[in-house]
Chains A and B, each alone.
Chain A
Amino acid sequence: MVLSALGAIILLFIIAPLAGLVFDTPLSDLFETARDKEVADSIWITLGTSFGAAFVCAFFAIPLAFVLARKSFPGKRLIQGIIDLPIVIPHTAAGIAVLGFISRNSVFGQFASGLGLDFVGHPVGISFAMAFVSIPFLINAARDGFSSIPLRLEQAAKNLGASSFRVFFTISIPLAWRHIISGFIMMFARGLSEFGAVVIVAYHPMITPVLIYERFTSFGLKYARPVAILFILVSLVFFVGLRLLVKSNKTKRKKISI
């Protein structure tokens, strides 16, 4: 009983501010904000940069996760620690680090600039900042997924003549798929909500968390609130949608099998 009451307090702590946010905002404000081009643009940019970051990183993060799950090598713990670093460092500091990396003074920045690209103040720069702080979620989830597959299954596939490459794509990836997708969604979500790192790398084009901050500092709570609600709704729709997509795939597979 006492435990339930304590639990309820925590739940209330999460629900109350969100409920307050919704109930304190007139519906008309919400509709008006939805028609605001600046808001709509910022939401699209946020979704696009975060999804792009997660999508591109997945091609590198998934193989790395597999190596971490399956191979043992000197310095593995150190690498694991480095991967978790973005979670623990302050995000503004992460932003400074990313900015230093992509600015025109850096080797990478000079190289990009040589190709006519400037990532500072560019959506790609925003993606960099988002990816930097959110990639541990994808790597760790995928690594846990690969670790959870019995090594036996991969050995059995090899024993049947399959190359390591084929084993990876036909056994490891399909069996770790749910973990990978879950990590992908977490990375995407973490990217969407990033403010500290992004605001340092690129104030413009404005992603929604930056827009919410700007409206709050320039016009006050009343103007920031509808944007915040709208952004929360859009995020929710995406996450619930993605989760359902994964789930429906799974149930479909089950139906075929029986």
Chain B
Amino acid sequence: MLQLKNISLKLPEFSLDDINLKINEGEYYVILGLSGAGKSLLLESIAGMQQPEKGKIILDGIDITNVKIQHRNVGYVFQDHAVFPHMNVYHNIAYSLKGKYKKSDIHSKVLEAAAIVSIKHLLDRKPNTLSGGELQRVALARTLIRDPKCILLDEPFASLDVQLRDDLRALLRKLHRSGRTIVHVTHDFEEAISLAQKIAVFHNGRIIQQGNPFEVFANPVSEFVARFRGIRNFFKTRMTRPDKVLYEDKVEIEIPPQQRISNGFVMLNSRDIWVSKTKPADRSINLFNGQITDIIPNFKGIEISIESELKLTSFVPHSELQHTQFRIGDKVWAAFNPENITFLAT
């Protein structure tokens, strides 16, 4: 079991702020955060390349906070692979075994590791002749051959095209099924959902939410987490009545009646936000007047950003666009029904 207790570290660009994580043996744990948020710093601290200023890292009951990189037995697969350019694939994979095993044993272990990641045919090749996906596999094999207690993956899908992503996903699942503990850092929500048993959302150097992926994304605790799920309309509100909340203490929103008075988040699907250039005669609640600030087309329709008392995002399918044309700068009315709101009490 890997445990991080109150890990803090401040560097000029990134920081870790009181990170607490508990990763059980054999667990597939995904840390989700934006690119450039300092997620790698967290992995580097676990691997020993960065020394936390505060806190403890405990692996299988042993405090490894001050243990040298070499003696941690934590495998790190770097985002840029860090395959040794002056050695062929065979020697890259065999690197950690040299001087510790007999040549024949090393040979069979290398073949075994290469077979797991399907690169047996590449053993004689030099890294500069390999593709991103192949380099990734070399880096994985090189880590696997040591049989580390825990494997750290830093954005493993970053340099892969779509088809290779599927292959790698299958490979990672296979590794996980064989009982390995994996800590995987990514900025990709889909990737996280497809692999994770547990997930932690990392933002501004902090873990802001953790749990199983379903729980985390069904009950996002912040706009940041909601945005990962593609939810654009997410507002932190204060409840004034069981069916009424205030956003930023001034904008009133009607919500489905709640059992008890409690503050919470208003969450809305952008498909449920109705937009029109004319003021509707039949709607008066949750009706906002604003201006279109952006229009993003996709193959199903357009996504419209509206600046009003609330910053709303509405999705209009192509079928409905035949009647109305929207342009950036248009004055519009936006509305939504209270029953379409998901209210997450806090």
Contacts and interface: CB of A to CB of B under 8 A. Distances in A.
Please determine whether chains A and B interact with each other in the same assembly.
yes
B129 A258 contact: yes
A211 to B, nearest CB: 43
Which size class do B's interface residues fall under? 20 to 34
Contact of B82 (A155, A170, A253, A257): A155
A175 B95 contact: no
Contacts of B42: none
B82 A161 contact: no
Given A156-B76, A174-B86, A175-B86, A161 B146 contact: yes
A150 interface: yes
B86 A159 contact: no
A174 B84 CA distance: 10
A21 interface: no
Given A159-B74, A160-B96, A162-B70, A153 B84 contact: yes
A158 interface: yes
Nearest to B73: A161
Interface string A141-183: 0000000001011011111111100000011001100000000
B75 interface: yes
A156 B129 contact: no
A247 to B, nearest CB: 16
Interface string B62-98: 0000001111011110101010111010000001100
Given A156-B76, A159-B47, A160-B142, A150 B96 contact: no
Given A156-B84, A157-B84, A162-B96, A257 B142 contact: no
A159 B84 contact: no
Interface residues of A, number: 20
Nearest to B72: A159
Nearest to B86: A174
Contacts of A254: 126
A171 B85 CA distance: 9
B47 A162 contact: no
Contacts of A162: 70, 95-96
Given A153-B82, A153-B84, A155-B69, A160 B146 contact: yes
A43 to B, nearest CB: 37
A162 B142 CA distance: 13
Interface string B132-167: 000000000011001000000000000000000000
Nearest to A155: B49
Interface string A67-89: 00000000000000000000000
Contacts of B75: 159
Given A155-B49, A157-B95, A257-B129, A163 B70 contact: yes
B327 interface: no
A156 B86 CA distance: 14
Contacts of B49: 155, 159
B99 to A, nearest CB: 8
Nearest to A156: B82
Contacts of B143: 160
B74 A171 contact: no
Interface in A223-258: 253-254, 257-258
B126 A158 contact: no
B125 interface: yes
A175 B78 contact: no
B336 to A, nearest CB: 49
Contacts of B126: 254, 257-258
Contact of B95 (A152, A155, A160, A163): A160
Nearest to A153: B82
Contacts of A163: 70
A39 to B, nearest CB: 43
Instruction: Give 6 nearest A-B pairs by CB, closest first.
Output: A257-B126, A156-B82, A160-B96, A158-B69, A152-B82, A159-B76
26 contacts: A150-B80, A150-B82, A153-B82, A153-B84, A155-B49, A155-B69, A155-B76, A156-B78, A156-B82, A156-B84, A157-B95, A158-B70, A159-B76, A160-B95, A160-B146, A161-B73, A161-B96, A161-B146, A163-B70, A170-B95, A171-B84, A175-B85, A253-B86, A257-B129, A258-B126, A258-B129
Given A157-B84, A258-B129, 14 more contacts: A150-B80, A153-B84, A157-B95, A158-B69, A158-B70, A159-B70, A159-B75, A159-B76, A160-B143, A161-B70, A162-B96, A163-B70, A174-B86, A254-B126
Interface of A: 150, 152-153, 155-163, 170-171, 174-175, 253-254, 257-258
